[in-house]
Structure formats: C-alpha cells, structure tokens
Amino acid sequence: MNINFEYAQEIITLSDEHAASSYGQPVLIVGGRSYGPGDEIEPAADDELAWLPRESGLQVACSIQSNLRQAGKEVPALLKRFIAAGFAFNSSL
C-alpha cells in the first residue's frame, strides 16, 4: 500500500511495497529516498531551510498524524504501524 501526504510543501509517500520495506514495515519516501522511523531525513540540496535541525522519520510521521487528527480525518493504519515501530525502536536504545 502507498499513501501520499503533503508535508513541508513536499509530497511524502508512506509505503510497505517499497524495496526498503522489510516484512511489511512501512518506510517514508522523501525525494526518492527511503527512511525508517529512526532515520534523519536529509533536506533537498536546494532547500533554503537545510540549516535547521533534521527531523527523523518518526517526527515527520507524528506531525502528519497530528495534522490529520486536527483536520478531523482518519489516521491510516499504515501510518500508525510506522509510528509504533518508531516508538519501539526508540525505547530499545
């Protein structure tokens, strides 16, 4: 399954069909690169805000979830799985 979201003026895809997805664990695809919940998302080379601290996949996913809830929209199960994996990863550190 692939789900597209708009985030920071960019289209981000959450997918469990991408080659980087392992055993159904979804990945975020930003600018053609895949990221897991603990990965830092690299800004585009022409991004004027590249100097800001990088966000992790988990931070981006939680922000998307918050935006969906504020808009009164349902949070997709795929997004919930990505977030749950991120919290499991962080608690194991």
Please state the pTM of the whole predicted model. 0.75
More confident residue, 49 or 77: 77
The pLDDT of residue 50 is above 80? no
Run of H or E residues at 16: none
The pLDDT of residue 69 is above 90? yes
DSSP 36-69: -TTSBPPPPTT-TTTTSPPPBHHHHHHHHHHHHH
The pLDDT of residue 47 is above 80? no
| Tens digit of each residue's pLDDT (9 = 90 or more) over 3-23 | 888 877 778 899 999 888 888
